[in-house]
Structure 1
């Protein structure tokens, strides 16, 4: 397990805190692998609720672009496939999944937030998904399922930033919750998570699951495997 992820465990609830505050909790490969293993372990333990949050000034800046020069297109593709695997694992979890966002959040960090069933946000939070600027399709259908496809198209084609207020208006954010209200929100969510017996809760989630993981993965790979991924990412980084 990496130092980049803190996990607090109880019999019913596991809390995952992204712990790269100096990098705005960007998702590097070790952090993604730690999250995948941690969520698998929580499922195996019989946990009823998973909570995701970020240390420092935000939830997550998304895909870590800090070491692009040392990586090939193939390296980057594998990392993105693992991110998609994480998103599907969280979105299809038999547990109630809860995320808290604050500060500025980008790309795969927004996708991880959107993969959760209860999505709480501080009023200072903002969300931006710039992946299409470098030709990447990640989390697009899931975002469209949440906010509606017309609204998703409008936001994504402009790659524009969404405020917490707008995110709440369109359904990306379930409720605005400040840091001092997180404990109460977690307690309320845990009551919901344990209201039904585990088998019934899992059946409910399966019936309502709109996910198409094979299609999501195919769309990601099709976009990321187009030659020049690294060059497009470097060009995007240089423009910021």
Structure 2
């Protein structure tokens, strides 16, 4: 495996295999448990754009540099420094990024270990296949402070009834339950999570590009007979949910309630 970035970068890109057709994107903001701020999001989008333009692109694996967390979600301190308008723009850009990953021009696999909370869980769900480590814990806290982000993918993967329960209750979901809920497709011991993700990717890369694109298009369609013209896009939902009322007040109140439970 060949390094393409300096280790101090928040994102490390590696190429796997003799022909370098599988790219491994490692989240490397380790001290902050890969919490997403403006800088990490910008670097993530830059690297994704670079990878998507590769002629030899066969697959993309997204993983973490640490076992404690895949991605702990948004960087709370950063988001608390934003105005409502700025926060709405940030979450809209997050939503755009997840949409781009979910429509990436090659198969994608998330190797999820440790905490995958909020935007981190949404990042994992944006990938075609998710492999969980035994330590994996999912949580979707956004609705608790008024954020709608990635819920359509949660519905597509878990089904409407379970998605409603997960989104509204802030349930902490372990690896076995995540498999039961269809949030992940496989469980591996933490030390073998990348190896397992690579094995999955080898299966996916056997499928022709046009077949892959067609299957993803079918699976991405919402399983409902409702009039879809009345629905907002995922990006519109993210922006709209922040702009209602005082977002930072809601976020601060949620954090204070968490502290009381400790």
TM class by shorter chain equals over 0.9
Specify which of 228, 232, 240 is matched with residue 250 of structure 2. 232
The answer to which of 186-195 and 147-156 deviates more is 186-195
**How do 1:28-107 and structure 2 match up within 5 A?**
28-46=37-55, 47-56=57-66, 57-107=68-118
Note if contact 2:64-2:70 (Cα within 8 Å) is conserved in structure 1. Answer: yes
Deviation at 1:50, TM superposition (A): 0.8
In the alignment, structure 1 residue 3 sits paired with structure 2 residue 15: no
Residue equivalent to 1:145: 156
User: What is the alpha-carbon root mean square deviation over aligned residues?
Assistant: 2.0
Specify every segment of 5 or more residues in structure 1 that has no aligned partner in the other structure, as ranges: none
Structure-2 change in CA distance of 1:67 and 1:204 (3 Å): closer
Specify every segment of 5 or more residues in structure 2 that has no aligned partner in the other structure, as ranges: 223-227
CA-to-partner distance for each residue in 1:114-140, whole Å, 9 max, x for gaps?
Answer: 111110111121111111111111111
Deviation at 1:108, TM superposition (A): 0.5
Count of matched residue pairs = 240
Secondary structure of 1:119's aligned partner: strand
Structure-2 change in CA distance of 1:224 and 1:119 (3 Å): same
Note if contact 1:68-1:234 (Cα within 8 Å) is conserved in structure 2. Answer: no
**How do 1:137-176 and structure 2 match up within 5 A?**
137-176=148-187
Deviation at 1:194, TM superposition (A): 2.4
Note if contact 1:19-1:55 (Cα within 8 Å) is conserved in structure 2. Answer: yes
Residue equivalent to 2:22: 13
For residues 68 and 183 of structure 1, what CA distance do their matches in structure 2 show? 31
TM-score by length of 2: 0.85
Note if contact 1:8-1:15 (Cα within 8 Å) is conserved in structure 2. Answer: yes
Deviation at 1:76, TM superposition (A): 1.0
**How do 1:164-203 and structure 2 match up within 5 A?**
164-203=175-214
Secondary structure of 1:98's aligned partner: strand
Note if contact 2:111-2:197 (Cα within 8 Å) is conserved in structure 1. Answer: no
Note if contact 1:101-1:120 (Cα within 8 Å) is conserved in structure 2. Answer: yes
Deviation at 1:214, TM superposition (A): 5.9
Secondary structure of 1:196's aligned partner: coil
Secondary structure of 1:67's aligned partner: helix
Structure 1 runs (4+) greater than 4 angstroms displaced: 211-214
Secondary structure of 1:205's aligned partner: helix
In the alignment, structure 1 residue 26 sits paired with structure 2 residue 35: yes
Deviation at 1:151, TM superposition (A): 0.9
